[in-house]
């Protein structure tokens, strides 16, 4: 029999930590700080709206680019948070999570051999999506000394004649790093000079702890060269609803909609009705959750300080990214040993790029009691290592 | 800090203050000062424990009583409310808008005792016009807490 598999797909390396997660899921009474999704249930008024839409029999497809009401609310939301105007009719598409927007966004703009710059450590899907779109991924290794922000020098060094897209993943998973307005202005200047398209993944935009998030699309001259990606998973604790969106120049959104229409048809209808309500009435609920995350963030930062483990202060998302280089182990060795000996699961930094070596991603999307227990186990583990 | 502090304490007054200070980005001393101010200003009135009595052997019966009263000259409802809330078996007294005036919650050992309270103590009070007693059959949620909630983490593992 022939080999039926695609060379391109088989060539993509599988997630290196699959094995690690298999152990975690088998292990009883392990405490996990590994999950990258909110621990909160979706606020009830949002769930209620989803249920109501089902009761009313709204079980049909929506238009390909999403419910008109939802696109209008997304437009309002971005106007009130970022002061950017997006036309609901032509410049917004509702997708199956932010992840679909990344995929179709890249596929809509890439020609073979175009280069896509991906700063790492970052979310795992940028590189495979770029490869599947026939682009050449160019990795920038972000540095702890810069608080894992992207610097203009790093960007300039990565740009070639073939560079087309810069992926800008802030607030960042896994580091929790943010980019403030001044940082973005420098990047924007280069993007304009070098004629780059920016794919700004702002899925954690509602969860920042040092002033409000600023989108690069809000900087002069950037709206026409930015695909802004956001969604409902993190802000509204709606991961399972699979709903995100992209805003961008009309021409790009039109091509993205074409792929979306042939591959997906439309995002889930129930989720879309619920999301309209989330955007209309959800600001307070989001703020409550943000405060909770912030309390846990402070708790973890303080715990690592007391343990004497180096950790830069993250101002976004719900992760801390402590450095474990002093223990002379790889991230994976450390995480595996911690799991085996103290039954705490954290994610090795290398899951998010080679430059995550020497770091761990610790999620604080867990209750304070859970975090406390985990920290006391980590403390015990670290003391053993140091003695 | 005050708003955030109050909303945490309202849910969990037994939280460790050292930890709470860290969570709020304050020093322990600042936190303790703020809490003592809140107590002095009677913003924090008391620290209670929410108990699911159904799971104990202790018999408790609760009732909500709607009370219609004639307000008294110069004192409105305050005087009659005080006459009611001074009974220790009365758990709460609210002045209510709508079809009646006071909503009284009462906790006793038995139905009989509640009936006795209403007929012997409450109804004979001068300005009371009428009462309507509703027995509580089951508490689903009290003070913002779902009584029988299981807090199991059902999130599945996935590659991040």
% of chain B with per-residue pLDDT over 90: 83
One of 3.55.10.10, 3.40.47.10, 3.30.499.10, 3.40.640.10 is the CATH number of A59-281, namely: 3.40.640.10
Q: Which fold has domain A7-42+284-386?
A: 3.90.1150
pLDDT at A16: 61
Nearest CA in chain B to A361: B160
Is the model's pLDDT at B75 over the cut of 90?
no
Decide: helix, strand or coil at residue A383: helix
Q: Which fold has domain B55-138?
A: Alpha-Beta Plaits (3.30.70)
Q: Parse chain B into domains and list their residue ranges.
A: 2-40, 55-138
pTM listed for this prediction: 0.92
From the list B8, B151, B159, the residue facing A21 with the nearest CB is B159
In this structure, the number of other CB atoms found within 10 A of the CB of residue A354 comes to 11
**Contacts A17 to B, Cβ<8 Å:** 159
Nearest CA in chain B to A36: B160
Q: Give the number of A-B residue pairs with CB atoms closer than 8 Å.
A: 49
- Sheet with A136-141, strands from edge to edge, namely A92-95, A244-247, A226-231, A197-201, A163-168, A115-120, A136-141
CA atoms within 13 A on the CB side of A98: 23
What is the DSSP pairing of strand A92-95 with strand A244-247? antiparallel
**Structure-block tokens of residue A91:** 């410049």
Is the model's pLDDT at B72 over the cut of 90?
no
Beta strands in chain A (DSSP E): 31-32, 92-95, 115-120, 136-141, 163-168, 197-201, 226-231, 244-247, 319-320, 344-345, 347-348, 360-363
Is the model's pLDDT at B160 over the cut of 70?
no
Q: Tell me the per-residue pLDDT of B84-133, one tens digit each, with 9 for 90 and over.
A: 999 999 999 999 999 999 999 999 999 999 999 999 999 999 899 999 99
Average pLDDT, rounded, for chain B: 93
pLDDT at B148: 85
CA separation for the pair A36, B160 (Å, rounded)? 6
What separation in angstroms does the CA of A135 have from each of A8, A116, A141, A352, A377? 12, 6, 19, 19, 44
Interchain contact, B160 vs A25, CB within 8 Å: no
Nearest CA in chain B to A345: B157
| pLDDT by residue, tens only, chain A of 387 residues | 999 999 999 999 887 667 777 788 788 788 889 888 999 999 999 999 999 999 999 999 999 999 999 999 999 999 999 999 999 999 999 999 999 999 999 999 999 999 999 999 999 999 999 999 999 999 999 999 999 999 999 999 999 999 999 999 999 999 999 999 999 999 999 999 999 999 999 999 999 999 999 999 999 999 999 999 999 999 999 999 999 999 999 999 999 999 999 999 999 999 999 999 999 999 999 999 999 999 999 999 999 999 999 999 999 999 999 999 999 999 999 999 999 999 999 999 999 999 999 999 999 999 999 999 999 999 999 999 998
From the list B19, B153, B159, the residue facing A299 with the nearest CB is B19
Which of A125, A126, A302 would best serve as a mutation to test chain B binding (most B beta carbons within 10 A)? Answer: A302
From the list A36, A299, A370, the residue facing B23 with the nearest CB is A299
Distance to chain A for B3, nearest Cα, Å? 11
Dihedral angle over CA of B23, B24, B30, B31, nearest 10: -70
Q: Parse chain A into domains and list their residue ranges.
A: 7-42+284-386, 59-281
């Amino acid at each position: 029999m022939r080999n039926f598999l695609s060379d391109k797909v088989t060539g993509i390396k599988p997630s290196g930590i699959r094995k690690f997660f298999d152990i975690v899921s088998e292990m009883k009474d392990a405490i996990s700080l590994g999950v990258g999704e909110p621990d909160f249930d979706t606020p009830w008024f949002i769930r209620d709206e989803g249920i109501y839409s089902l009761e009313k029999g709204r079980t049909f497809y929506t238009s390909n680019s999403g419910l008109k009401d939802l696109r209008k609310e997304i437009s309002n939301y971005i106007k009130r948070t970022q002061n950017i105007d997006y036309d609901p009719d032509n410049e917004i598409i509702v997708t199956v999570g932010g992840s679909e927007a990344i995929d179709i966004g890249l596929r809509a703009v890439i020609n073979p051999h175009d280069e896509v710059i991906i700063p790492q450590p970052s979310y795992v899907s940028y590189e495979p999506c770029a490869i599947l779109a026939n682009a050449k991924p160019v990795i920038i290794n972000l540095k702890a000394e810069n608080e894992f922000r992207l610097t203009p020098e790093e960007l300039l060094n990565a740009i070639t004649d073939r560079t087309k897209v810069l992926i800008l993943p802030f607030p960042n998973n896994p580091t929790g790093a943010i980019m403030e307005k001044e940082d973005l202005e420098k990047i924007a200047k280069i993007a304009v000079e070098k004629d780059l398209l920016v794919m700004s993944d702002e899925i954690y935009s509602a969860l920042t702890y040092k002033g409000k998030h600023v989108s690069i699309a809000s900087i002069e001259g950037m709206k026409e060269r930015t695909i802004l990606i956001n969604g409902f998973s993190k802000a509204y604790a709606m991961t399972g609803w699979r709903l995100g969106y992209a805003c961008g120049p009309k021409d790009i959104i039109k091509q993205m909609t074409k792929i979306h229409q042939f591959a997906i048809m439309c995002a889930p209808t129930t989720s879309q009705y619920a999301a309209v309500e989330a955007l209309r009435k959800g600001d307070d609920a989001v703020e409550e959750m943000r405060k909770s995350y912030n309390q846990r963030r402070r708790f973890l930062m303080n715990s690592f300080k007391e343990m004497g483990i180096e950790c830069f202060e993250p101002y976004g998302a719900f992760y801390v990214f402590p450095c474990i280089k002093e223990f002379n182990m790889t991230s994976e060795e450390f995480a595996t040993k911690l799991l085996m000996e103290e039954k705490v699961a954290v994610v090795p930094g290398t899951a998010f790029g080679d430059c995550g070596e020497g770091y761990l991603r610790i999620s604080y999307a867990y209750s304070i009691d859970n975090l406390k227990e985990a920290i006391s186990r980590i403390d015990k583990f670290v003391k053993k290592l140091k003695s | 800090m005050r708003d955030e502090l109050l909303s945490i304490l309202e849910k969990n007054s037994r939280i460790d203050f050292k930890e709470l200070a860290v969570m709020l980005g304050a020093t322990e001393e600042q936190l303790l000062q703020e809490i003592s101010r809140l107590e002095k200003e009677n913003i924090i009135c008391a620290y209670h424990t929410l108990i699911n009595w159904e799971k104990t052997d202790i018999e408790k019966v609760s009732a909500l009583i709607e009370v219609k009263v004639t307000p008294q000259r110069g004192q409105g409802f305050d005087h009659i409310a005080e006459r009611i809330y001074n009974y220790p078996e009365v758990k709460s007294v609210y002045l209510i808008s709508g079809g009646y005036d006071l909503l009284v919650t009462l906790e006793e050992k038995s139905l009989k005792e509640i009936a006795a309270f209403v007929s012997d103590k409450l109804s004979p009070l001068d300005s009371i016009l009428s009462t309507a007693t509703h027995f509580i059959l089951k508490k689903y949620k009290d003070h913002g807490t779902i009584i029988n909630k299981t807090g199991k983490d059902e999130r599945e593992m996935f590659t991040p």
